[in-house]
Amino acid sequence: MSKLLSLIAATGLALSLGAAPTLASAKTAQQEKMSTCNAQAAGKKGDERKAFMKSCLSAQPATTAAAAPATQQEKMKVCNKEATGKKGDERKAFMSECLKK
């Protein structure tokens, strides 16, 4: 029984040590963003740097901001807002065309 527990513990240790370098080397999106903003903030100090970092880190990536809504639900929200004031066949035609985009 103790040999089995030792084998399980050794296997778990080996697996955790093998996975550690790959997890540690991969940066998260937030870490990438922090690195980019930090590089852009070079030369700024004090309140100016603080304000820049806040706006830089809270900004969405350019590709996401410029892209059209990805999910059908997001498209519906956008199209519904744009269709305000339209009724009947006009609204139906507008929504159909809007949702195709």
Name, in order, each residue with C-beta under 8 angstroms of 53's C-beta and a sequence gap of 6 or more.
37, 38, 41
CA distance 33 to 75: 27
Strand ranges (E), 1-101 = none
pTM above 0.75, yes or no: no
In this predicted structure, what is the pLDDT of residue 64? Answer: 45
58, two tokens: 């809270």
Geometric angle at alpha carbon 88, from 82 and 89, rounded to 5°: 90
Chunked into runs of 10 residues, the chain (101 residues) has average pLDDT values of 62 55 66 88 89 84 53 88 92 89 79
Residue type, 6: S
Q: Which residue has the tokens 């080996």?
A: 14
SS3 71: coil
In this predicted structure, what is the pLDDT of residue 66? Answer: 47
21, two tokens: 């370098």
In this predicted structure, what is the pLDDT of residue 30? Answer: 83
